[in-house]
Chain A
Amino acid sequence: MARYESLLDACGGTPLVGLPRLSPTVPEGAPPVRLWAKLEDRNPTGSIKDRAALFMVREAEESGRLRSGDTILEPTSGNTGIALAMVAKLRGYRLVCVMPENVSSERVQLLRMYGAEIIFSPAAGGSNQAVAVAKQIAAEHPDWVMLFQYGNPANARAHYETTGPELLRDLPTITHFVAGLGTTGTLMGTGRFLREKVDGIEIIAAEPRYGEVVYGLRNIDEGYVPELYDASVLNRRFSVGTRDAVLRTRQLVEVEGIFAGFSSGAILHAALAVAHEAVKAGRRADVAFVIADGGWKYLSTGAYGGTLAEAEDALEGQLWA
């Protein structure tokens, strides 16, 4: 069935496609090791965040926290803001996003197109400045509703109830699930579901490692671990640098025709690592990983062309995932 009552009803149900060319070759007679990409860029606003945005808004409506005409406030540097902007528009809310001023112009244009208002926090001031801006806004507008994706159980539940079941339905032989680690919602929700249903499943996180300037902390105690994060859901966690993420993002489009954003390249990098380990160990593996979004919003970085070193320079200081 590919007919839906509205755009919101068309969220999820994304295709899972095999990667016959990027999957590692196994020796003659050895069990197969296969990579599968879950194309989350096929969601209504083009990213996996549509699932979380929809679930968080619905949950807030059902619990009475959100009423028609309310204002939603969300700190975001990207896809969650765009997803929330679409959901807010269709459900009748106003959305205000707080974001650092060094995000790409595509994101700002997309947010405004969907009707969101944007408050910029100065990039130069680092996190301390962003904290100051945030505190000020919250104090001035106590009636605004913050869904807070980093600590909202509905974010993880979206994946427990949709992404996980879809993967199991489409790939009952799944052995590994690999996704990006940001709010941790995708990994916590999908990971918990798959752990309940699939014996021996491995849940693997790929975390972006940014250039120096992004870690603008004064000291270690200013760090932040999302409330949703539960390390016991994961088996392994990889840190993937900009160069590897760009290399794999290019391979995705060059070898398999999948035009994805850089976070998906980072996720593929981790997926390939576990796939090659399976080949070495002579084990069968069906490794499913997430294509979090398409590459459109990142074209202006110029990182899809030129040498890897040039691409790395182009992305220095940007939040690319």
Chain B
Amino acid sequence: MAIEVRVPTILRSYTGGAKVVEGSGDTLGALIDDLDAKHSGLKGRLITPDGGLHRFVNVYVNDEDVRFLGALDAKLNDGDSVTVLPAVAGGALGFAAAAAMLGK
């Protein structure tokens, strides 16, 4: 089962620079395990030690946020497209600057 996964720039050091990689799995959790077997270390950047999705990582299946589809239990089908993005919706610069001003 082939699922196309889009990897953001900041995680491409784990995929040898590849922007798009392929993986398999019938849930998001299984897919991430499969990806980690091929691209060691990737799982640690997506999932926290207690087993949840990293707070600053957003994962979308066919453009829909997996946190509303069962998170790591979200079901995947052959041909699905998965996109991983850092959580900076609305403009990284504005957010980062705002957070910095408040000393966060």
Interface residues of A (CB under 8 A from B): 73, 75-77, 98-100, 121, 123, 126-128, 130-135, 137-138, 146, 148-151, 181-183, 205, 207-209, 212, 214-226, 231, 234-241, 319, 321
Contacts and interface: CB of A to CB of B under 8 A. Distances in A.
B101 A137 contact: yes
Contacts of B64: 236-239
A216 B86 CA distance: 10
Given A131-B97, A209-B85, A237-B68, A223 B55 contact: yes
Nearest to B45: A220
A51 to B, nearest CB: 17
Main SS at interface, chain A? mixed
Most buried by B among A77, A135, A236, A239: A239
Interface size class of B (residues with CB under 8 A): 35 or more
Nearest to A223: B56
A149 B101 CA distance: 12
A182 B91 CA distance: 8
Most buried by A among B60, B68, B94, B103: B94
Contacts of A224: 56, 87-88, 92, 95-96, 99
A238 B83 CA distance: 11
Interface in B43-67: 45, 54-58, 60, 63-65, 67
Given A100-B93, A319-B93, 18 more contacts: A77-B93, A99-B94, A126-B93, A127-B93, A130-B93, A130-B100, A134-B100, A138-B100, A181-B89, A181-B90, A182-B91, A208-B89, A221-B56, A222-B86, A236-B65, A237-B68, A238-B63, A239-B60
